[in-house]
Amino acid sequence: MSKFQKGFLTGAATAAHQVEGNNVHSDYWAMEHMQYSSFAEPSLEAVDHYHRYEEDIKMMAEAGLNAYRFSIEWARIEPVQGQYDEAEIGHYRRVLECCMENGIEPVVTLMHFTSPKWLIEKGGWENEETIGLFANYCRYVVEKLGSYMHYVCTINEANMGLQIAAISERFKKQMMARMQQANSVKEAAKDVEGSVQVGLNMQKMMENMQKQSTENMEVFGTATPQVFVSARTPEGDLLVMRAHQAAKKAIREVNPKLQVGITLSLHDIQVKEGGEKIAAKEWESEFSHYVPYIKDDDFFGLQNYTRSVYDADGICAAPEGAPLTQMDYEIYPQALENCIRRVAKELDIPIIVTENGIAVADDTLRVDFIGKATDGVAACIRDGIPVKGYMYWSLLDNFEWQKGYSMTFGLISVNRGTQERTAKPSLAYLGSLQEKTGAGNL
Helix ranges (H only) for 287-412 are 291-294, 335-346, 363-382
Asked whether the CA dihedral 218, 221, 222, 226 is positive or negative, the reply is negative
Q: Which of 385, 224, 365 is nearest to 299 (CA)?
A: 385
Classify residue 26 by its DSSP letter: B
Quick check: bond before 230 cis, omega within 30?
no
Dihedral angle, C-alpha 181, 187, 192, 195, nearest 10 °: -130
Q: Is 157 a catalytic residue?
A: yes
Distance CA 69, CA 78 (A): 21
At residue 11, what is the residue type?
G
Q: Which of 28, 57, 64 is nearest to 43 (CA)?
A: 28
Query: Strand, helix or coil at 148?
Result: helix
Q: In Å, what is the CA distance from 441 to each residue of 216, 294, 321, 404?
A: 45, 20, 42, 35
Asked whether the CA dihedral 6, 157, 355, 102 is positive or negative, the reply is positive
Which residue is catalytic, options 157, 286, 330, 400? Answer: 157
Task: Return the axis-axis angle of helices 425-432 and 49-63, rounded to nearest 10°.
Answer: 50
**Annotated active-site positions, please?**
157
